[in-house]
Amino acid sequence: MAKIGINIATGSLQKEEIIVGIDLGTTNSLVAIIHPETKQPIALKEHNTNTLVPSVVYFNKLGDILVGDEAKEFLISAPERTIFSAKRLLGKNYGDIKNNASFFSYKIIDEDANRQVKIKIDNKFYSPVDLSALILKELKTRAEHILKTPVHKAVITVPAYFNDAQRQATRDAGKLAGLDVLRIINEPTAASLAYGLGIKKEGQKTIAVYDLGGGTFDISILNINEGVFEVLSTNGDTYLGGDDFDMAILKYWQKKMNISDEELLNNPSLMQALRLKGEEAKKYLSTNEFYTTTLNDKMLSLTKNDLNNLLKPLINKTIVCCKKAVKDAGLSLNKIDEIIMVGGSTRVPLVNDIVGEYFGKVVNNSVNPDEIVALGAAIQADILAGNNKDALLLDITPLSLGIETAGELMDVIIARNSKIPSSAAREYTTQVDGQINMRISIYQGERDIVKDNRLLATLNLKGIPAMPAGLAKVSVSFIINTDGILTVKAKELRSGVEQFIEIKSQLGIDDETVEKMLLDAMSNAKNDISARALAEASTEGEQLLKTTERFLQKNAGLLIENELAETAEAMQSLQLALTVADKNLIQNKTEMLNDISRPYAERIMNSAVGEAMKGKNIF
Ligand code: ADP
Ligand code: MG
């Protein structure tokens, strides 16, 4: 049932609950909606404030929490209780970040390399999910304040390379903040939507999304085909962004002012002041030629030309990443139709020049680069709300998902490139008499032999009632929800016993790995096909040996001596054939054993049926 809210500002009734779009950024976060009157996406801000909320959380000694601009002020005065860049820690364990631990000025707990990281402030522990939730909660409160209506539903963006653990962590943070996260979408997808790309069915397009933020750089190459977004490749540098630009300016002035490194390190407030002035200069020079200011009675200045010289090497580093991404996407440069600029740092004119020059095209930078991701999320939210009827938006699975079957073979249940959400089921049976457990190993990948794919999880279906091999009917179903999270269910249909597993983590896989796995699958296709044929032949041979053995145990007395001898010989040579990896030999020996056993098996079966008939009074 739709909730009815009253917009106090306008006095109007809002029948449909609003769905907001949220860009939960490393440096800055913000909320956007589709304006109910203009139908255009807008970033929300209160009068006299910024649309951007710095992704910073400060905890004071009394246990009060500040988020955003107010928290940012404590970065220097109370670095151990001011958390920035929590997004970098989402869905990560200590092992993942220990090489960069010195980047963070606050205490990250490392009790176990395999556990999710935690942050300690006073005697309390906070997870990155808790911290992200505080930022989301602040955004939610702001939005409610501005819109004068409760906000419960959101679309949140994440980087394209986020794996499932990171996506799930984002979703959990939303839930903690009191938001129903209707969908998690990729930041480059959102940016494309903000330019109207991929909203309607309009053929195929290849897009490069260049995102240079405060501390990170991401380049994503997307293919949009009839409204379906596919991430062809991603690349980037998780420690390169506008902060490095500021540091370059700081270093430049430090030299000009003859300040030693030691002096600077011992004077954090001077360092902070210089850094802030540096950021100010950088922003100012995005639209002006000359910047000047005073600091402690000394004059500081910077020309656009000085700035360009400082930034050029940093920007060139991003081009190296772009080259890799284009190469990984398997494209030539001229196949890229659009370049979309995202992130505050792309306001630097030189960034646009160098990127445009590399791609050989004029870049798209007309949409506000700080807001574009949130605006795109709002467009997606509007589509989900059903307000944009002719829009379609689908994601697809990058790799096939399936389970291990006899012979260590991969049985694909949801094929690569299937549209998300998606579900499929298949039936399996037991291999051994009286089998009461069934281990279902779930894999991701394109290779025929499971060990060449990625093991995602195993599911143990317990409590199958004992019955002869082949009688149990186990239905295994795969369900991928709109966030790409996979649930695998196994159910024995005769007894109803069932078990399921939700694969939140480890399913995630970066696009580089996806590309590599696809290439491996292609280059190994021939070997894989013969390996599969061998595995299938072996399974069949083993199965026949087992049934023959069982048959003999029950019916040996009904066979004549010659039959027994022949059978023993054929079994032995099949057994031996199974020890060598020769498909033809195995098939040959399997056929021989079959030929020998078939006549007497039929004879005995018929007489057994005859016996059974005799005992019954059928008249
Ligand atoms: P993130 O995606 O990492 O949260 P943003 O996209 O908000 O970050 O980018 C923040 C960065 O953009 C900061 O380093 C900021 O200094 C930089 N920035 C913002 N405005 C400008 C500008 N006018 N010129 C140059 N850099 C800018
Ligand atoms: Mg961003």
User: What's the pLDDT score for residue 390?
Assistant: 60
Q: Omega before 421 cis (within 30°)?
A: yes
What mean pLDDT is predicted for residues 600-609? 76
pLDDT tens per residue, range 410-457: 999 987 767 677 788 888 988 888 899 999 999 988 888 899 888 888
Of 245, 341, 345, the residue with max ligand 1 atoms within 8 A of its CB, to mutate for a pocket test, comes to: 345
**What mean pLDDT, rounded, does the chain reach?**
87
Catalytic residue among 87, 277, 304, 491: 87
Closest ligand 1 atom to Cα of 279: 16
Query: Average of pLDDT values for 45-67?
Result: 93
Give the residue-averaged pLDDT of 568-596. 89
Closest listed ligand to the CA of 190 = 2
| Position in ligand 1 atom list of the atom nearest CA 242 | 14
For ligand 1, whether the C-beta of 242 sits within 6 Å is: yes
236 lines ligand 1 (CB under 6 A): no
- Which comes out higher in pLDDT, residue 400 or 216? 216
Q: Is 187 a catalytic residue?
A: yes
pLDDT exceeds cutoff 90 at 305: yes
Spacing, Cα 211 to ligand 2 middle (Å): 7
Could you tell me how many residues make up the chain? 619
Cα of 212 vs centre of ligand 2, distance in Å, is 7
Which listed residue (130, 138, 164, 187) is catalytic? 187
Tokens, residue 138: 């602040």
Q: Is the CB of 243 under 6 A from ligand 1?
A: yes
Rounded to an integer, the average pLDDT of 498-520 is 70
Predicted pLDDT at 323: 97
Question: pLDDT tens digits, residue range 1-39?
Answer: 334 444 444 444 445 678 999 999 999 999 999 998 899
Residues 6+ apart with CB under 8 A from 457: 441, 442, 488, 501, 503, 506
**Closest-lying ligand to the alpha carbon of 54?**
1
**Structure tokens belonging to residue 379:** 């467009």
Mutate to test the pocket of ligand 1, among 22, 28, 246 (most ligand atoms within 8 A of CB): 28
Pairing of strands 422-428, 153-158: unpaired
Atom of ligand 1 nearest to the CA of 243: 14
Q: Which of 22, 218, 283 to mutate to test the pocket of ligand 1 (most atoms within 8 A of CB)?
A: 283
Task: For residue 369, give the ligand 1 atom closest to its CA.
Answer: 6
> Which of these is catalytic: 164, 172, 211, 483?
211
Ligand sitting nearest the alpha carbon of 373: 2
Q: How far apart are the CA of 146 and the centre of ligand 1, in A?
A: 24
CA of 355 to the centre of ligand 2 (A): 18
Task: Say if residue 136 is exposed, middle or buried (CB neighbours under 10 Å; 0-12, 13-18, 19+).
Answer: buried
At residue 5, the pLDDT reads 43
Whether pTM > 0.75 for this model: the answer is: no
Minimal-distance CA residue to ligand 1 atom 2: 213
Question: Of 23, 138, 246, 511, which residue is the catalytic one?
Answer: 23
CA gap 108, 83 in Å, rounded = 11
Ligand 1 contact, 275 CB (< 6 A): no
What is the predicted pLDDT for the residue at 526? 66
Residue 148 has pLDDT above 80, yes or no: yes
CB atoms within 10 A of CB 274: 24
Mutate to test the pocket of ligand 1, among 212, 282, 285, 367 (most ligand atoms within 8 A of CB): 282
pLDDT tens track for 531-578: 877 888 888 898 889 888 888 888 888 888 888 899 999 999 998 888
* Model confidence pLDDT, tens digit, residues 474-484: 999 998 887 77
Q: Is 184 in the pocket of ligand 1 (CB under 6 A)?
A: no
Question: Exposed, middle or buried, 592 (CB in 10 Å: 0-12/13-18/19+)?
Answer: middle
15 exposure class (CB count in 10 Å sphere: 0-12, 13-18, 19+): exposed
Q: Kindly state if the Cβ of 233 falls inside 6 Å of ligand 1.
A: no
Cβ atoms < 10 Å from Cβ of 495: 13
Q: How far is the CA of 370 from the centre of ligand 1 (A)?
A: 7
Q: Which residue has the higher pLDDT, 612 or 276?
A: 276
Q: Which residue, by CA, sits nearest to atom 20 of ligand 1?
A: 344
**Res 320 pLDDT > 90:** yes
Residue 87 a catalytic site member: yes
Provide the 3-class DSSP secondary structure of residue 532.
Answer: helix
pLDDT of 151 > 90? The answer is yes
Residue ranges and CATH numbers for the domains of the chain are: 19-195+368-384 (3.30.420.40), 201-366 (3.30.420.40), 401-510 (2.60.34.10), 527-613 (1.20.1270.10)
